[in-house]
């Protein structure tokens, strides 16, 4: 693909998991959005949501593989379906693109391979195996990998090298805390300086609040990479790891981030537009939504081109 793709304004899609739940997905334990890949009766929910984002103006749709990392499947006792769940996510994204007849790109979500919003401190070879296992299934179907909410330079480096082995470029998505550091304690600047390579298409703040985007936008700009965000609309600024993996009913506290983190119902698409415009004025070219954003938010920011 064109390595300069993100040097002009590009619109990423919005949230998947919470939108699928809102449209009728019933999660298997804490498998959350990946439940929609496992059960055929929910496949149309994924397909329709991809199409909604495409029709709202997204230049890039992201595969529904964030919750399809192996650890989630093991903890929910469906690890034997690892390949199927990941492959179906890719096939549904490809089908949406075909139906739309639009020249959009498909990014493969390659998430942190353990908990979300927290550094993976395992040995390098363990982390690499997990990234490679998931990436190997995804890569034939995608244009590039989106390193989805990674929390340390080490994870970023490992995942980026895995992508390079598979001859796919990456959009680096790092999680940033209120202190503008990654959960590992590293700065954006030092991570980019140490781990950036020619395979990087750009860098974004991944699943962070609009307030944290605004605080960190200057440092993102200083990296001299195409930069931007996938902003969440959780009610709290700084979400913590979701470590409740059990057989609890889906609607019990802790079984869904929505319950633990809340949602900003008052953060309308028009407010998201105003925030995104401010970030574009600061040089951002990669804009999109994460948890609790919808096709309406993406449709509104599409006006910013």
**Comparison of pLDDT for 151 and 265, the residue scoring more:** 151
Other C-beta atoms closer than 10 Å to the C-beta of 48 total 16
Q: What CATH code is carried by the domain that includes residue 100?
A: 3.20.20.330
Number of domains the chain is built from: 1
**Mean pLDDT of all residues in the chain?**
93
CA dist 302 and 305 (Å) reads 6
Residue 263: the pLDDT is 79
Q: Which residue has the tokens 């590992």?
A: 184
Is the predicted pLDDT of residue 249 greater than 50, yes or no?
no
Percent of the chain residues topping a pLDDT of 90: 85
Residue 31: the pLDDT is 87
Residue 256: the pLDDT is 63
Residue 205: the pLDDT is 98
Residue 258: the pLDDT is 64
Q: Domain limits at 241? A: 5-304
Is the predicted pLDDT of residue 290 greater than 80, yes or no?
yes
- pLDDT tens string 266-276: 899 999 999 99
- What is the SS3 assignment for the chain? CCCCHHHCCEEECCCCHHHHHHCCCCCCCCCHHHHHHHCHHHHHHHHHHHHHHHHCCCCEEECCCHHHCHHHHHHCCCHHHHHHHHHHHHHHHHHHHHHHCCCCEEEEEEECCCCCCCCCCCCHHHHHHHHHHHHHHHHHHCCEEEEEEECCHHHHHHHHHHHHHCCCCEEEEECCCCCCECCCCCEHHHHHHHHCCCCEEEEEEEEECHHHHHHHHHHHHCCCCCEEEEECCECCCCCCCCCCCCCCCCCCCCCCHHHHHCECCCCCHHHHHHHHHHHHHCCCCEEEECCCCCHHHHHHHHHHC
Per-residue confidence band for 262, with pLDDT thresholds at 50, 70 and 90: confident
pTM (predicted TM-score): 0.95
- pLDDT tens string 164-216: 999 999 999 999 999 999 999 999 999 999 999 999 999 999 999 999 999 99
Percent of the chain residues topping a pLDDT of 70: 93
Residue 294: the pLDDT is 97
Residue 243: the pLDDT is 45
- Mean pLDDT value of segment 219-240: 92
Residue 265: the pLDDT is 81
């Amino acid at each position: 693909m064109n390595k300069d793709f993100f040097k002009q304004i590009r619109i990423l899609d919005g949230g998947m998991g919470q939108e699928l739940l809102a449209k009728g997905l019933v999660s298997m334990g804490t498998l959350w959005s990946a439940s929609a890949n496992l059960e055929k009766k929910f496949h149309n929910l994924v397909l329709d949501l991809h199409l909604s984002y495409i029709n709202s103006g997204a230049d890039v749709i992201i595969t529904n593989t964030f919750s399809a990392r192996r650890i989630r499947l093991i903890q929910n006792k469906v690890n034997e379906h690892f390949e199927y769940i990941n492959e179906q996510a890719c096939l549904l994204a490809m089908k949406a693109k075909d139906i739309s007849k639009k020249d959009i790109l498909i990014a493969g979500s390659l998430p942190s391979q353990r908990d979300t919003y927290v550094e993976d401190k395992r040995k390098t070879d363990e982390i690499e195996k997990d990234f490679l296992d998931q990436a190997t299934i995804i890569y034939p179907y995608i244009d590039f990998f989106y390193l989805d909410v990674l929390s340390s330079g080490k994870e970023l480096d490992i995942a980026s090298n895995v992508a390079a082995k598979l001859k796919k470029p990456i959009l680096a998505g790092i999680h940033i805390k209120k202190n503008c550091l990654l959960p590992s304690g590293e700065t954006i600047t030092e991570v980019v300086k140490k781990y950036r390579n020619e395979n990087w298409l750009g860098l974004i703040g991944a699943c962070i609040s609009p307030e944290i985007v605004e605080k960190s936008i200057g440092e993102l700009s200083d990296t001299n990479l195409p930069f931007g965000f996938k902003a969440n609309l959780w009610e709290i600024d700084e979400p913590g790891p979701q470590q409740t993996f059990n057989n609890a009913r889906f609607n019990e506290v802790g079984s869904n981030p929505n319950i633990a983190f809340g949602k900003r119902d008052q953060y309308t698409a028009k407010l998201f537009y105003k925030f995104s415009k401010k970030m574009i004025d600061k040089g951002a070219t990669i804009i999109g939504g994460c948890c609790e954003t919808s096709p309406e938010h993406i449709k509104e920011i599409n006006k910013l081109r």
